[in-house]
Chains A and B, each alone.
Chain A
Amino acid sequence: AQTVTQSQPEMSVQEAETVTLSCTYDTSESNYYLFWYKQPPSRQMILVIRQEAYKQQNATENRFSVNFQKAAKSFSLKISDSQLGDTAMYFCAFMKIRNSGGYQKVTFGTGTKLQVIP
Protein backbone atom coordinates (compact mmCIF):
# COMPACT_ATOMS: atom_id res chain seq x y z
CA ALA A 1 0.00 0.00 0.00
CA GLN A 2 1.10 3.53 -0.70
CA THR A 3 1.50 6.19 1.96
CA VAL A 4 1.88 9.94 1.61
CA THR A 5 3.39 12.04 4.40
CA GLN A 6 3.18 15.79 4.82
CA SER A 7 5.21 16.69 7.87
CA GLN A 8 4.25 20.37 8.04
CA PRO A 9 0.71 20.77 9.42
CA GLU A 10 0.84 24.56 9.14
CA MET A 11 3.02 27.13 7.43
CA SER A 12 2.92 30.85 6.82
CA VAL A 13 4.59 33.11 4.28
CA GLN A 14 4.70 36.83 3.61
CA GLU A 15 2.94 38.03 0.52
CA ALA A 16 5.26 38.09 -2.53
CA GLU A 17 7.75 35.71 -0.94
CA THR A 18 8.49 32.07 -1.76
CA VAL A 19 7.44 29.05 0.26
CA THR A 20 8.11 25.33 -0.12
CA LEU A 21 5.75 22.61 1.09
CA SER A 22 7.20 19.16 1.72
CA CYS A 23 5.84 15.77 0.78
CA THR A 24 7.31 12.29 0.93
CA TYR A 25 5.72 9.06 -0.17
CA ASP A 26 6.35 5.40 0.05
CA THR A 27 5.69 2.98 -2.79
CA SER A 28 7.16 -0.02 -4.52
CA GLU A 29 5.69 1.07 -7.85
CA SER A 30 7.90 2.48 -10.58
CA ASN A 31 5.20 4.13 -12.65
CA TYR A 32 2.83 6.58 -11.01
CA TYR A 33 1.58 10.15 -10.83
CA LEU A 34 1.98 12.70 -8.08
CA PHE A 35 -0.32 15.65 -7.51
CA TRP A 36 -0.70 18.75 -5.40
CA TYR A 37 -4.26 19.80 -4.67
CA LYS A 38 -5.34 23.08 -3.11
CA GLN A 39 -8.41 23.39 -0.89
CA PRO A 40 -9.32 27.01 -0.10
CA PRO A 41 -11.96 27.96 2.50
CA SER A 42 -14.59 27.45 -0.20
CA ARG A 43 -13.75 23.72 0.19
CA GLN A 44 -13.32 23.15 -3.55
CA MET A 45 -10.34 20.86 -4.07
CA ILE A 46 -8.45 22.16 -7.09
CA LEU A 47 -5.64 20.43 -8.92
CA VAL A 48 -2.56 22.66 -8.78
CA ILE A 49 0.10 20.61 -10.50
CA ARG A 50 0.89 17.03 -11.47
CA GLN A 51 4.05 15.08 -12.17
CA GLU A 52 4.53 11.84 -14.07
CA ALA A 53 7.09 9.63 -12.36
CA TYR A 54 8.67 8.60 -15.65
CA LYS A 55 9.52 12.22 -16.46
CA GLN A 56 12.69 13.57 -14.90
CA GLN A 57 11.85 17.18 -15.66
CA ASN A 58 10.09 18.95 -12.80
CA ALA A 59 6.58 20.18 -13.58
CA THR A 60 5.78 23.89 -13.47
CA GLU A 61 2.51 25.82 -13.64
CA ASN A 62 2.98 29.56 -13.54
CA ARG A 63 4.06 30.40 -9.95
CA PHE A 64 3.90 26.76 -8.85
CA SER A 65 6.72 24.30 -9.38
CA VAL A 66 7.76 20.99 -7.91
CA ASN A 67 11.02 19.40 -6.91
CA PHE A 68 10.58 15.72 -7.71
CA GLN A 69 13.28 13.44 -6.33
CA LYS A 70 12.26 9.93 -7.34
CA ALA A 71 15.03 8.06 -5.58
CA ALA A 72 14.35 9.93 -2.35
CA LYS A 73 10.57 9.64 -2.88
CA SER A 74 10.18 13.33 -2.29
CA PHE A 75 7.79 15.71 -4.03
CA SER A 76 7.88 19.27 -2.71
CA LEU A 77 5.80 22.21 -3.95
CA LYS A 78 7.31 25.66 -4.37
CA ILE A 79 5.05 28.68 -4.55
CA SER A 80 6.75 31.81 -5.83
CA ASP A 81 5.48 35.38 -5.39
CA SER A 82 2.87 34.19 -2.87
CA GLN A 83 -0.52 35.84 -3.10
CA LEU A 84 -3.34 36.17 -0.58
CA GLY A 85 -5.43 33.82 -2.72
CA ASP A 86 -2.88 31.08 -2.14
CA THR A 87 -4.13 30.77 1.46
CA ALA A 88 -5.51 27.21 1.60
CA MET A 89 -4.91 23.63 2.62
CA TYR A 90 -2.52 21.88 0.27
CA PHE A 91 -2.70 18.13 -0.20
CA CYS A 92 -0.04 15.96 -1.75
CA ALA A 93 -1.40 12.89 -3.52
CA PHE A 94 -0.15 9.70 -5.17
CA MET A 95 -1.79 7.71 -7.94
CA LYS A 96 -0.64 4.32 -9.12
CA ILE A 97 -1.00 3.69 -12.82
CA ARG A 98 -3.27 0.73 -13.45
CA ASN A 99 -2.07 -1.25 -16.44
CA SER A 100 -5.48 -2.75 -17.08
CA GLY A 101 -7.33 0.55 -17.07
CA GLY A 102 -10.17 1.43 -14.76
CA TYR A 103 -10.69 4.02 -12.11
CA GLN A 104 -7.94 5.96 -10.46
CA LYS A 105 -7.13 5.23 -6.84
CA VAL A 106 -5.50 8.24 -5.24
CA THR A 107 -3.82 8.30 -1.83
CA PHE A 108 -3.73 11.67 -0.07
CA GLY A 109 -1.55 13.14 2.66
CA THR A 110 -2.92 14.89 5.74
CA GLY A 111 -2.44 18.33 4.26
CA THR A 112 -0.49 21.51 5.02
CA LYS A 113 -2.41 24.63 5.98
CA LEU A 114 -0.74 27.62 4.30
CA GLN A 115 -1.44 31.16 5.45
CA VAL A 116 -0.25 34.04 3.26
CA ILE A 117 0.28 37.14 5.39
CA PRO A 118 -0.24 40.58 3.85
Chain B
Amino acid sequence: ETGVTQTPRHLVMGMTNKKSLKCEQHLGHNAMYWYKQSAKKPLELMFVYNFKEQTENNSVPSRFSPECPNSSHLFLHLHTLQPEDSALYLCASSQDLLYEGQGPRGFGYTFGSGTRLTVV
Protein backbone atom coordinates (compact mmCIF):
# COMPACT_ATOMS: atom_id res chain seq x y z
CA GLU B 1 0.00 0.00 0.00
CA THR B 2 1.43 3.33 -1.02
CA GLY B 3 -0.37 5.47 1.53
CA VAL B 4 -2.47 7.33 -1.06
CA THR B 5 -5.66 5.55 -2.07
CA GLN B 6 -7.93 6.64 -4.91
CA THR B 7 -11.41 5.37 -5.66
CA PRO B 8 -12.92 4.37 -7.96
CA ARG B 9 -10.19 2.90 -10.14
CA HIS B 10 -12.32 3.23 -13.27
CA LEU B 11 -15.34 5.41 -13.95
CA VAL B 12 -17.55 5.72 -17.01
CA MET B 13 -20.06 8.51 -16.91
CA GLY B 14 -22.45 10.27 -19.22
CA MET B 15 -22.21 13.98 -19.87
CA THR B 16 -25.23 14.69 -17.69
CA ASN B 17 -24.12 12.60 -14.73
CA LYS B 18 -22.73 13.76 -11.41
CA LYS B 19 -19.98 11.70 -9.82
CA SER B 20 -17.16 12.15 -7.33
CA LEU B 21 -13.58 10.95 -7.16
CA LYS B 22 -12.09 10.26 -3.76
CA CYS B 23 -8.52 10.42 -2.50
CA GLU B 24 -7.31 9.45 0.94
CA GLN B 25 -3.82 9.64 2.45
CA HIS B 26 -2.55 8.29 5.75
CA LEU B 27 0.96 9.69 5.57
CA GLY B 28 0.42 12.74 7.74
CA HIS B 29 1.01 15.01 4.76
CA ASN B 30 -0.51 18.47 4.78
CA ALA B 31 -0.76 19.20 1.06
CA MET B 32 -2.90 17.36 -1.47
CA TYR B 33 -3.13 17.76 -5.23
CA TRP B 34 -5.32 16.82 -8.19
CA TYR B 35 -3.56 16.25 -11.51
CA LYS B 36 -5.00 15.41 -14.91
CA GLN B 37 -2.95 13.04 -17.07
CA SER B 38 -3.74 12.92 -20.78
CA ALA B 39 -1.82 11.01 -23.43
CA LYS B 40 1.27 12.76 -24.80
CA LYS B 41 0.80 15.80 -22.54
CA PRO B 42 2.56 16.78 -19.32
CA LEU B 43 0.66 16.23 -16.13
CA GLU B 44 -1.65 19.19 -15.60
CA LEU B 45 -1.97 20.53 -12.08
CA MET B 46 -5.64 21.22 -11.35
CA PHE B 47 -5.97 22.03 -7.67
CA VAL B 48 -3.80 22.27 -4.58
CA TYR B 49 -4.93 22.16 -0.98
CA ASN B 50 -2.44 23.09 1.73
CA PHE B 51 -3.60 22.57 5.30
CA LYS B 52 -7.15 22.08 3.94
CA GLU B 53 -7.14 25.48 2.25
CA GLN B 54 -7.31 25.69 -1.52
CA THR B 55 -4.16 27.50 -2.54
CA GLU B 56 -4.23 26.98 -6.27
CA ASN B 57 -6.83 26.57 -8.99
CA ASN B 58 -5.20 26.37 -12.38
CA SER B 59 -8.05 27.82 -14.45
CA VAL B 60 -9.98 24.60 -14.18
CA PRO B 61 -13.56 24.69 -15.58
CA SER B 62 -16.28 24.92 -12.98
CA ARG B 63 -17.60 21.48 -13.94
CA PHE B 64 -14.75 20.23 -11.71
CA SER B 65 -15.31 21.07 -8.06
CA PRO B 66 -12.77 20.07 -5.39
CA GLU B 67 -13.47 19.52 -1.74
CA CYS B 68 -11.03 18.96 1.11
CA PRO B 69 -12.89 18.30 4.37
CA ASN B 70 -9.69 17.47 6.28
CA SER B 71 -6.00 17.04 5.56
CA SER B 72 -6.43 13.30 4.86
CA HIS B 73 -9.26 13.41 2.34
CA LEU B 74 -9.69 15.08 -1.01
CA PHE B 75 -12.61 14.86 -3.40
CA LEU B 76 -13.16 15.92 -6.98
CA HIS B 77 -16.83 16.42 -7.80
CA LEU B 78 -17.72 16.08 -11.46
CA HIS B 79 -20.81 17.31 -13.30
CA THR B 80 -21.78 17.89 -16.92
CA LEU B 81 -18.38 16.79 -18.17
CA GLN B 82 -17.29 16.76 -21.79
CA PRO B 83 -15.69 13.88 -23.72
CA GLU B 84 -12.36 15.76 -23.71
CA ASP B 85 -12.35 15.46 -19.93
CA SER B 86 -11.66 11.74 -20.32
CA ALA B 87 -8.25 11.15 -18.74
CA LEU B 88 -6.43 9.63 -15.80
CA TYR B 89 -6.95 11.74 -12.68
CA LEU B 90 -4.14 11.45 -10.20
CA CYS B 91 -4.14 12.49 -6.58
CA ALA B 92 -0.88 13.22 -4.78
CA SER B 93 0.18 14.37 -1.35
CA SER B 94 3.29 15.93 0.11
CA GLN B 95 4.68 17.24 3.34
CA ASP B 96 5.32 20.93 3.70
CA LEU B 97 9.05 20.88 3.12
CA LEU B 98 10.79 24.10 3.56
CA TYR B 99 10.56 26.35 6.55
CA GLU B 100 12.34 29.63 6.91
CA GLY B 101 15.65 29.03 8.57
CA GLN B 102 15.69 25.31 7.82
CA GLY B 103 17.26 23.44 4.97
CA PRO B 104 15.19 21.95 2.13
CA ARG B 105 14.31 18.29 2.16
CA GLY B 106 12.59 17.83 -1.19
CA PHE B 107 10.85 14.48 -0.88
CA GLY B 108 8.50 15.07 -3.79
CA TYR B 109 5.03 13.67 -4.10
CA THR B 110 3.40 10.41 -3.12
CA PHE B 111 0.82 9.48 -5.75
CA GLY B 112 -2.28 7.36 -5.81
CA SER B 113 -3.00 4.91 -8.62
CA GLY B 114 -5.43 7.26 -10.28
CA THR B 115 -9.00 7.07 -11.56
CA ARG B 116 -9.39 6.33 -15.25
CA LEU B 117 -12.34 8.49 -16.27
CA THR B 118 -14.25 8.00 -19.51
CA VAL B 119 -16.95 10.47 -20.45
CA VAL B 120 -19.43 9.16 -23.00
Which of A's residues lie within 8 Å of B, judged by CB?
4, 9, 31, 33, 35, 37, 42-47, 50, 52, 91, 93, 95, 97-110
B56 to chain A, nearest CB (A): 8
Contact: B106 with A109, CB < 8 Å? no
- Among B40, B48, B106, point to the contact of A97 (Cβ < 8 A): B106
- A93 CA to B33 CA, complexed, in Å: 15
Please give the number of chain B residues whose Cβ is less than 8 angstroms from any Cβ of chain A in the complex: 32
- A45 to chain B: which residues have CB within 8 Å? 90, 92, 109, 111
- A98 CA to B99 CA, complexed, in Å: 9
Given A44-B113, A45-B90, A103-B55, also A33-B96 (CB < 8 A): no
Contact: A108 with B42, CB < 8 Å? yes
Contact: B45 with A99, CB < 8 Å? no
B36 to chain A, nearest CB (A): 11
Find the B residue at minimum CB distance from A36: B108
- Among A37, A43, A47, A101, point to the contact of B98 (Cβ < 8 A): A101
- A106 to chain B: which residues have CB within 8 Å? 45, 108-109
- A97 CA to B88 CA, complexed, in Å: 27
Given A33-B108, A47-B108, A97-B104, also A103-B94 (CB < 8 A): yes
A4 to chain B, nearest CB (A): 7
Q: What string of 1s and 0s marks CB contacts (under 8 Å) between B12-39 and chain A?
A: 0000000000000000000101000000
